[in-house]
Amino acid sequence: MRGKPSEEKQVEMGAAENGTEEDLGGLTAEELRQGQEAALTLEDMMALSAQTLVRAEVDELYQQVRPLGQGRFGRVLLVTHRQKGTALALKQLPKASTTLRGFLYEFCVGLSLGSHSAIVEAYGIGVESADSYSFLTEPVLHGDLIALIQPKVGLPQPAAQRCVAQLASALEHIHSLGLVYRDLKPENVLVCDPACRRVKLTDFGHTRPRGTLLRLAGPPIPYTAPELCGPPPLPEGLPIQPALDAWALGVLLFCLLTGYFPWDQPLAEADPFYEDFVIWQASGQPRDRPRPWFGLTPVADTLLWGLLDPHPRRRSPVSSVRDYLGQPWRQREGEAEEVPQADEGDEGDLA
């Protein structure tokens, strides 16, 4: 029998029978069912995985080769299996900062995504050691996307289009399973080759079922969608939707094309760059672009206006990227309008 999701609350299923979208926090009844089904599936997987964890010290099973990444909550190592010699990536989370449930959740989200060319493949092996929890994935050896984005330049246009197309496909797959990724940023995009032809999305600790009620923790960042910055529609929080990922994809695309953030936070009263964008978008006049948007083409404007619509129900889905591939997103040399030099610190550099 399936357990009841308990990590975060969701809109109550019973409200779906006769409730309006407003009653359901902006979700339709079908969207709510999809999220509930995803949450229950994860609970089943977590219960099973808790019983099948390998209890052993990592060094007994795997030989460490080199670090692949380090974050606030854990690290990723390139390891080889001591008996078979197989190369693997091992994500290790210290017990001091990770609960068993938190570990199982991230582990099972990765497993639930199955096989997708732009998502790091998770292997069904979880290890509990004296001081840590670990799980294994395919190794991706060329670092993350942040290292390739040149400040105030971005990526070459073909590479930017390849990256965004693959990430949109990965997010579309995640959304089809009733989940919302919620953590799209260059640090979570792994690069498979030096030319950045293939990328893979990783790190699913923040992924949640559609409809999970969440509040903004801490100040907003450029990737934070504006609906998370205001009062939530329900007392417990905002029922999350794939539109959150569409917003983050738009911000990431802007970074890939320019090498800096479009704003520091999506609050018109606090950030003049975001205020200028909202006024420009509402005007419907692409040529009256604010300074950070100089150098982009009208095609890029249209794509980004859709992904970055402040109203989540009007926001374009991540799949909209496909309609703009193969078209120019940057002005050719000599075609861009004359722009005064930005003062140091006017736009948020990628660090």
* Run means of pLDDT, 10 residues per run, the chain, 351 residues: 50 50 71 94 97 96 95 91 96 96 97 97 96 97 94 95 98 97 97 94 96 91 94 89 97 97 95 95 84 92 96 96 97 50 48 53
Angle, CA of 203, 205 and 211, to the nearest 5°: 120
Residue among 310, 318, 311, 235 at smallest CA distance from 25: 235
Tokens, residue 222:
């450029």
Pairing assessment for the beta strands 122-128 and 54-55 based on DSSP bridges: parallel
pLDDT at 26: 73
* Distance (Å, whole) CA 5 – CA 17: 20
pLDDT at 335: 47
Q: Mind listing the domains of the chain with CATH numbers?
A: 13-137 (3.30.200.20), 145-349 (1.10.510.10)
pLDDT at 284: 82
Radius of gyration of the chain (CA): 21
pLDDT at 43: 97
Tokens, residue 323:
């309609």
**Angle, helix 100-112 to helix 29-52, in steps of 10 degrees:** 110
Are 73 and 82 in contact by the 8 Å Cβ rule? The answer is no
Q: Which of 23, 131, 183, 245 is catalytic?
A: 183
* Distance (Å, whole) CA 163 – CA 27: 30
- Provide DSSP, 93-154: EETTT--HHHHHHHHHHHHHT---TTBPPEEEEEEE-SSEEEEEE----S-BGGGG-BTTTB
pLDDT at 27: 82
pLDDT at 288: 82
Contacts of 282 (CB under 8 A, 6+ apart): none
Residue among 325, 201, 239, 270 at smallest CA distance from 19: 239
The separation between the first and the last C-alpha atoms of the chain, rounded to the nearest angstrom, is: 47
pLDDT in tens, 22-34: 555 678 889 899 9
pTM of the predicted protein model: 0.90
Classify residue 255 by burial, with Cβ atoms within 10 Å: 0-12, 13-18, 19+. Answer: buried
pLDDT at 286: 74
Helix (H) or strand (E) run with residue 213 in it: strand 213-214
pLDDT at 14: 45
> What is the rounded average pLDDT for all residues in the chain?
89
Would residue 203 show up in a list of annotated catalytic residues for this protein?
no
pLDDT at 178: 96
Tokens, residue 226:
């504006």
